Structures are given as structure tokens and as C-alpha cells.
Structure 1
Amino acid sequence: MQCEGICPNSLSFVAVLRAYGNTKASECILAVHSQVHGEPLYKKDIMISNALINAYMKCSLVSKALELFNDLAIKDSVSWNVLISGYAQVGHSEEALSFYELMETAGFSPDPFTYACICKACANLCAVYQCQQIFTNIVNDGLFQRDIVTSNSLLDMLSKCSMLKEAHEVFDRLPSRDIISWNSLIAGYAQHEHFAEALTCFEQMQDDNFAPDAFTFASVVRACGDLGASSKGQEIHVDMVKYGSLETDMVLGTALVHMYATFGMLGEAQDVFDKLPFQDSTSFNALLTGYAQSGKIEFVIELFSKFIEYNIKLDSATFSNVLNMYIHTGLLEDAQLYFKTMVEVFITLLTIDHFNCLADLFGRAGDVEKAALVIKEMPFHSNFAAWITFLGACQNCRHAKLGRWAFENASELTEKDAAAHVLMSNIYAAISTYHMTGAGL
């Protein structure tokens, strides 16, 4: 166009900047900015400035966008919206809220686009006070009954900020609903562990002839798992197959593996796992957790070997699952060998919880001296949980010396918790009773 001597107008620049922003072509955006900066058109056409701010934000060039915004002699509602939207999109939610307040101070009224952005920012922050203010503004404007985007944004914000009563009231007053409306409400209930309500909404959604999507299924599968609703979970699995949601969705497949593992239905969990498009550390951990909790040692060892064989990235959850299995089955020697391998090969992935698990295992086996050695030699400062667990083991073994050591360290971390005092008193009482009984008193 320019090679043929045709001079671009505002619409040309806006279209080009939109394309560069969508493709994150930051160097090209800078070049266009440099080109238009000296043009008379640039100084009098705010469309180009707004397009530049939007493009910079899409490339996460926040300082450039803010600099340009501050330099604008005249700002319109679009200028404010693209800045607020940009901050919300790059995760700078506090800045988005600040500029929303400045926008109102400057005399600009928020529109549906503004509310959609600011609801997202509030939801990310779980900013309940601001959430209540925005909720009031939207209700007073009547926007949530006229604009489905605003109503869905409001539902999502209220649900994520744990304002579930208000979310359901808004939902009930909507003149029309779509799948996003239902998903926001169901996800809110599931996120805040109101699992029965999540499943009730799911059934109502189907009664209203809305077909669930992957997002819906992710929420209700979690609800079934945590409620122990195995029959409902199996029904939902059938629905997922019916709607084709399992064919390529790893998140849903892994959620199903976790659900069946939670139910102890390990055959079903293994079957879903085997049919996944590919296996990753999350799906392996979901299956491994089920086998570990059921004490299926041979399956846990086999899965852990596959982790190594398939070069799947291990994480701390993997180690915790296996260690917890050894704790509950009491296989002390196997646990020591496993932990030794972890220290030699995966030392960077170990956390204080792993050392606490091993110390707990020794304590449960009555070997408080080895448990104390683990605590002394771990490359972390022991936390209150470690000392209380160890103190409980000392109580069971009536070991006053090590118990006193644990009590003093626990008390240094917190003097307000009565648990340490109770356990230490129990140790002394048990020893006193033992000596009195032994003396024939």
C-alpha cells in the first residue's frame, strides 16, 4: 500500500496495530508508533492512540502503554477501557481497580466492557469490598438484566469472591441464561466446596436443556469426588463420553482418574488413565495416589518406575504420595531405601514435608531415636507440625528426654498452642504411672 504511494489513514493504522497486538509483534508496534508520531493525523485522532495502548498492553509492554496514556491531551472512554482491560489481562488486577476508580473520578461512566474487565480483576484478587461496590453499581444501573456479558462477568466475580448467595440471586433474576451463566454458578459452588449445590445446579441446567461442556464437567467431577457420590460420578462419565468431552481433554481425563481413585475404584481409574491421549505427571500422580491410599504397593512401585522410564517430570506430590503409602503400611525398610534414592537423585525436589513423613514413619514404628536423627539432619528448620508429630511419638514410647527436646523446640515456635503442653504432660504422667505400677503401688 505504502509502496504504491497510498497514504494510510486512521482505519489502516488501527487495523495494522490490532493485527500486531494479536500476534505479539512488539517490534512492529514500536515501528508503527515511531512512524505515526510525527504525523498530524496522530495528534488529532485518538483512535490511533487507543489502538497503540491496546497493542502495547497485549504485548505486556505496560510501561509504554501507561506512558502513552498519560501523554494523551484528551482521553475518551475507550482510552480508559483499553488501559483497564490491559492491566486485567496481564494480571495487574490492583492497577486495573485503581484506574477504574480514576476513570469514575474523571467523569466517565463504566460501560459493559469496563464492568467485564473490572469484574475479572476483582475475581482475581478476591477483593470482597470492591466486589460489593461493583455489584451495587451494576445492579443500580440495571446492566446485569440487559447485557449477558455483564451478567456473566458479575456472576463469575461473585462466585469467586465467595458471595454465593448474591451470585444465586443474580442468576435467578436473569431474563436469559447461557452455558457461561450456568458454569459460573456451578464452578463457584464447587470452588468453595458447596458440592451438593454444584450437583443440584448441574441437574437443573440439564433440565433446562443446556448441554454441559468441558468446563461444566470439570466442576461436577470434582464435586462428585469430594462428596463420594460414586453413582453420580459414573453417570457423569457416561455423559462425558456421550458429548465427546474426553477425546482430547487431558484436564477432564485426569479429573476422572482422580475421582475414581478417590472412590477406591482403581480398575476404572486405570482404564481412564490408559485411554488418555498422553500421560503426564498430574495424571500419574492422580492414579498413584489412589493405589497408595489403597495400599497397593506393587502398583505404586510399578507406576513410580514408569515415571523414571518415560522421563516424566517428577514433583514433590509424587514423593509425598509414595512416602504416605509407606507410612500407612508400616514398611520401614522400603521407605528408607526409597528415601535414600530420593536424596541421591531428586534432592532439589524434596521439601520439609518429605522429611517430616520419614520422621513420622520412624516414630510410628517406635524408633524415636532415628526419627530424631531425621529431624536433626534435615536441611530445613523444623516446623511446628514436625515437633508435635515427634512429640506424639515420644508420648507413645514414654521417652521423656527426647520428648522434652521436642517440647522446647515446639514452644519456641508458638507458646499459644496447648497441644505441646498436653503431650508433654501425658509423657510425664505415663512415666509416673509406669513406675508406680512397677513398684507395686
Structure 2
Amino acid sequence: MKKALLVIFISLCSTPKRQWQYRLEHHKALSSTSVSTNRTKWNSKTNMVITHPTLVVMESCSSMHQLRQIQARMTLTGLISHTFPLSRLLAFCALADAGDLRHALRLFRRVPHPNTFMWNTMIRAHLNARIPTTAFSFFLLMLRRHVPFDSKTFLFALKACEPFSGPSLGESVHCLVRKTGFDSEVLARNGLVRFYAERGWLKHARQVFDEMYVKDVVTWTIMIDGYAGYEFSDEALELFGLMLAGDVEPNEVTLIAVLSACSQKGDLVMGKRVHEIMERKNVRCLSLLNALLDMYVKCGNLMAARELFDGMETRDVFSWTSMVNGHAKCGDLESAREFFDQTPRKNVVCWSAMIAGYSQNEKPGESLKLFHEMIGEGFVPVEHTLVSMLSACGQLSCLSLGCWIHQYFVDGKRMPLSVTLANAIIDMYAKCGGIDAAAEVFSAMLERNVVSWNSMIAGYAANGQAKQAVEVFDQMRNMGFQPDDITFVSLLTACSHGGLVSEGREYFDTMERNYGVKPKRVHYACMVDLLGRTGLLEEAYKLITNMPMQPCEAAWGSLLNACRIHSNVELAKLSALNLLCLDAKDSGIYVLLANICANERKWGDVRKVRNLMREKGVKKIPGHSLIEINGEFKEFLVADESHPQSMEIYKVLEEIFLLSKLEDFDCEL
């Protein structure tokens, strides 16, 4: 084992000269002014009672200038030759915010035989300075020089392994823990569980956890948090139940992890149980209260969330954002906006939550307006903000803003292009008619997920390019991606728009058998639309009546529209009747049926439909259109005269109409 670790050490040391120069420059920068924001405060507490005046002064030292004066005094009095005073001097230089790691290295090199505490101090100091390779090198030197280890040594060594890919380095330390007998120490074992859990190797973590005879609250918390962090909520909650059964009292960190698991699973019962534990322990920790608030919001219990929020003595931006997010996801945008406006100090997450709320609830214009306000306030958008904005641009067909977001943030290297962001860009371009731009982004992606393929298939389907959609689906299968139910919605839609009846039938018939995707209402509706568009009305009607579930509005609506295309009045009446049973207030059903009857000169049926509308109190929703002018959207209703320039607008429309007539006249000549 020692040989294996030394081989690793040699590989770490055998770095190119340029990297060593970088490290040397990095060391030079490790002064009190350069790293004070990245390093932990010096923990001056010690179990020993300090009575020596010089050491007492050093425990309250706050700068390297003072430290050097104290060091000079210790040198004159010979105190520096003693192990404990020297270790305190080294600890300040290495670990204090005002310390200097270069000075600590000089001190350490002058010590003939550094003890375990000093070695641990140097490992920890390089971890704080974010130089894990050097930290691990100190650990290997300890091994090489036969310096005795303690549990903290292994704790810091495992921490130094975290930035390196692969488990081999940490597993080597694990083997050394076993070989040296420290596997019986709770602190070392906890370090192993944390190392594996934080990297997602939960089976390794659980194995170490299960082998422990003695577990403290930290052990349980690390394992529960590991499960929750990787969304294994069932395992996290099961383990929490075992923890309570074992009479181990959870701490605040444990409860935060459990509430996170409850939020993921939507387990309101366990969430309330945690709330009871908090009440019993009289916990008033803000981070824990925020986690509880987030759980209630994500579980859809806004009443409990509001009651908790109103009772909180202290709130931060996370508290307010949770309420914004909760009401926005429930569609209560008015309440969400009230919480947003009342938030004392908004951050970018709060802005993003409100923007996403508008975008997800079909208020894209409000999203755009709020986005401009956010930029005007000086906030820099994060990925979540841009994803919501791109969705709003797609809904409004606002290609100019969508292109600007792509070019300014992604092409301008201001935001890394993640898979999620690339998917949003593809979706935006596709919905705005820029399918070639969408394909270009898709082709350039180094990493894709199922959503990426679905977005491209849906884009081709929406833009009438059925064959390209089918080709992308074939590529998706060849690349080893498993299609989901959304894939087949897009694929069947493409077949419908392209008139690919045989292909659509094959995909529909094989989606469950070949891919394990059971057809849902939306898939049946797509098939009805495909059959109806191609004139196979009887087959479409038969498919609806033989559905294993209650037909949805989309299915009957597709059939009604097909009846309009192919002038089938009787089947149109049947479709409309079923639609009205589902939604009697939808004016579009009455209008479409009346138009179908009028086209076939069934004037008596037209009167019946209109009379039925009056009896039900249904009024036709006026048609409207949207136009973008200089980044601002203007909405127009049918025969609208509310715009201040309506007279000029209608005059231009008349001129366009006359010009079109002249064009028709020229063509006839």
C-alpha cells in the first residue's frame, strides 16, 4: 500500500515546469491580502491552559506584523524551540485569515522533527488555499517519513482527494485507514463516509456506514445528506426513520437534509413530523425554518407555508423567494407578485423566480417586462433566468431578443453553455421559425440528453419538416438514447403534419412493445389528428371510442377539426357534443361547428348552435394578434380602434388590400 501511494506521489510531483511555475506564483500570492476571503478563521482554542505571557498575546494576534514581533520575542527567549509554542505560531501563519502561507512553509521547513499536529496544519492550510495536490503531497511525505497519523490526518487527506477524478486515490487512503487500525475511529470513518457520499458513490458510503459499530449524529447526518443530495429521497427518509428508532437525536443539519428529501418526494407527512421535532426542540435556526418553508411550498401546502412565514421572527431573501416561487407554481401570479414586490432586498434568484412564474403561466409579456427591469436594476442573470426568458421568447415568437440572449451571453462567453441552456436555445429558435439555427446549436452540442433530442424532433415537427424529425429520431436510437413519452408526442405530431400515416401507425403500435412507453391520452390525440388530417375519419372515431381511458378534449378537438377539413357534418356534431360535455363554455367549439354547418348550407343547424350559445351564456372570444415594435409588444383585437394611431393603421391596411387586388388583377391578365 505504501508503494502504491508513493507511485501516486511521484505522478503528482512529475508535473510540467509550467505547472510548477504556476504553483510557485500561487504560493507567492498566498499573503494576508490575497487569500483572506478564501481561508477559514484561525481557531485559537486549545485544550491546554496557556499562562505564558507571550503565548497569551499570540492567541489574540490579528496580523502578520504582530505575529512577526511575537516570533522575534519567542526567538530571543528561546520559547520558539519548544514544540507547543512553535505549533501555535505555525497554526496562525497557516490558518488565520491574516496569516501568510509562505511564512508558514518557511517555519515548517526549519522544524527538525514536526509532530502530527504540524503536518496536519500544513495539509489543512493547503486545502484552505485550494491547492489539494500539495496538501496530498504533505500526507504522502508523512507516510514516507513514518510520521504517526491521527484521525484528523485521514480526514484532511480524504478532503485533498476530492478534486481528483476517480475513486482510486480515496480508496488508497481507505485501505491505509484499515491497515493502520483507524477504521475503529468514528472521526476517520465519518471522513470516509463523507468522501464517498459527496462524490455520489453512495454504495461505497453505505458500506462503510453499515460496517460502523459506533455511529454518532454526524455519521447519520452525512449519510442522509448524501442520499438527499443525489435525490435518493426514499433511502434518505428510510435512514432517518432508523436513526430515530436508534434514539439518535438529529441536529439542525440532519433536519435540513431530511426536509430536502421530503421536498423531492413530496412527502408532507414526514415533513410535518420534522416540524413537530423542531417545535419540541424549540429550534429557531433561520436556515432550518427556510428549509421547512421550502418543503411546504414544494409539497403544495401554501396555507402551512404562509402560517410559518408569518410566524418567522427573521426572514431573508430565501424566505421571500420561497413564497414567490410557491404561489407562481400554483398559478396565483397576483399573490406571487405581491410577495415579490414586498421583498426587502431582492437577489437574482428572487427575480428569476418571478420571471419563471410569468413564463410558465403563459404570461410571457410580463416575463420580458420584468427581465428588462431586472437588467436595469443592475442584476446579472443566471442560467435559470435565461432559460425562462428563452421560453418566453419562444411563446411570443420574439426572435430578436432570443438571438440577443444567445449571442451576448453564450457566444460572448458570459455564460457557459450547459445542456439545459442549449436545449432552451434550440426550443426558442424552433418556436420562432429558426429551425436551421436550432439545428446548428444542436449539432454543436458536445453533450446531449433526452430533452435535447426531443426539442429537435419537436422543432422539426412544428416547422413542417416531418422527414427530418424522423431522421433525428433514428439518430437518437442509434446513439443509444431511450425515447420517452414526450419523444413520441413530437414524433407523432411530425407524422401528422407530414401526412406519414404508415410511419405514425408503426410508431404508435410499437412504442410500448419496443420502448416500454405506454400510450397516454395525448398520444391517442396525436393519432386521431394524423388519421383525421388524411381523411380517415371513421378510423379516427373508432380509435377514440376504443381508448382504454376517457378521451380528452384534444382528441375530440382533433376529430372536429378533421370534420371541418373533410366536410363531415354528422361526425362533427358528435365530436362537438362530446367536447361540450368536457367544456361547455369554450366558444371555439360552437363557432367551429357553426362554420362547418354553414359551409354545407345547413342553416337550421347553424341557428341551433347559435341559440345554444345564447342559452349557455357563451360569448365568442374576439380574435387578436400580437406585433413586436422596438422590443415592445402591441396586442390588437378584431376591429380594434383603441390604439392612438388606429386611423393610420387602417389606412395602411386598406392600401395593402388594394395592392393585393391589383396583383390579382395583373395575374388574371
Query: Please, what TM-score do these two structures have when normalized by structure 2?
Result: 0.51
1:115 has 2:295 as partner = no
Look up the match of 2:444: 275
**One-letter code aligned to 2:394:** G
Look up the match of 2:630: none
- Asked if the contact 1:123–1:160 (Cα under 8 Å) also holds between the matched residues in 2, the reply is no
Look up the match of 2:539: 370
Look up the match of 2:207: 27
- Residue 13 of structure 1: how far off its partner (Å): 6.7
- 1:123-142 matches, within 5 Å, as 123-138=297-312, 141-142=313-314
1:342 is aligned, of 504, 507, 517, to 507
**One-letter code aligned to 2:223:** A
**One-letter code aligned to 2:551:** N
- Residue 314 of structure 1: how far off its partner (Å): 3.1
Look up the match of 1:208: 377
Look up the match of 2:66: none
- Residue 434 of structure 1: how far off its partner (Å): 10
Identity across the alignment (%): 20
1:99 has 2:99 as partner = no
- Asked if the contact 2:544–2:551 (Cα under 8 Å) also holds between the matched residues in 1, the reply is no
Q: Give the Cα separation in 2 of the matches to 1:432 and 1:308.
A: 50
Q: Give the Cα separation in 1 of the matches to 2:343 and 2:550.
A: 53
1:69 has 2:248 as partner = no
1:49 is aligned, of 217, 224, 238, to 217
Moved more, 285-294 or 260-269: 285-294
Q: Which has the higher helix share?
A: 1
Q: Give the Cα separation in 1 of the matches to 2:596 and 2:467.
A: 38
Look up the match of 2:464: 295
Moved more, 188-197 or 126-135: 188-197
Structure 1: gaps (5+ residues): 37-47, 436-441
Superposed CA RMSD: 4.4
Structure 2: gaps (5+ residues): 1-149, 152-178, 228-234, 605-669
- 1:222-237 matches, within 5 Å, as 222-237=391-406
Q: Give the Cα separation in 2 of the matches to 1:5 and 1:312.
A: 46
- Asked if the contact 2:394–2:432 (Cα under 8 Å) also holds between the matched residues in 1, the reply is yes
2:265 counterpart SS class: coil
Moved more, 13-22 or 244-253: 13-22
- Residue 324 of structure 1: how far off its partner (Å): 3.1
Give CA-to-partner distance per residue, 1:79-110, whole Å, 9 cap, x none.
87357435436535413531244135425133
- Residue 241 of structure 1: how far off its partner (Å): 2.0
Give CA-to-partner distance per residue, 1:268-317, whole Å, 9 cap, x none.
22222222224444223323333322323453454344345545433443
**CA gap 1:242/1:68 in 2 versus in 1, 3 angstroms:** same
The structure, 1 or 2, with the larger RCO (C-alpha pairs under 8 Å, 6+ apart) is: 1
- Residue 172 of structure 1: how far off its partner (Å): 4.8
**CA gap 1:100/1:165 in 2 versus in 1, 3 angstroms:** farther
Q: Give the Cα separation in 2 of the matches to 1:210 and 1:429.
A: 56
**CA gap 1:135/1:362 in 2 versus in 1, 3 angstroms:** same
**CA gap 1:156/1:15 in 2 versus in 1, 3 angstroms:** farther
Query: Please, what TM-score do these two structures have when normalized by structure 1?
Result: 0.73
**CA gap 1:303/1:66 in 2 versus in 1, 3 angstroms:** closer
Q: Give the Cα separation in 2 of the matches to 1:428 and 1:265.
A: 38
1:201 counterpart SS class: helix
Moved more, 349-358 or 259-268: 349-358
- Residue 257 of structure 1: how far off its partner (Å): 1.0
Q: Give the Cα separation in 2 of the matches to 1:133 and 1:296.
A: 52
- Residue 383 of structure 1: how far off its partner (Å): 1.5
**One-letter code aligned to 1:206:** I
Moved more, 212-221 or 48-57: 48-57
**CA gap 1:173/1:63 in 2 versus in 1, 3 angstroms:** same
> Which protein has the larger Cα radius of gyration, Structure 1 or Structure 2?
2
Q: Give the Cα separation in 2 of the matches to 1:6 and 1:336.
A: 69
Give CA-to-partner distance per residue, 1:161-200, whole Å, 9 cap, x none.
5555555555555554443333333333333333233323
Q: Give the Cα separation in 2 of the matches to 1:416 and 1:173.
A: 38
**One-letter code aligned to 1:265:** G
Give CA-to-partner distance per residue, 1:358-385, whole Å, 9 cap, x none.
3334434444333345456x67356254
1:212 counterpart SS class: coil
- Asked if the contact 1:87–1:95 (Cα under 8 Å) also holds between the matched residues in 2, the reply is no
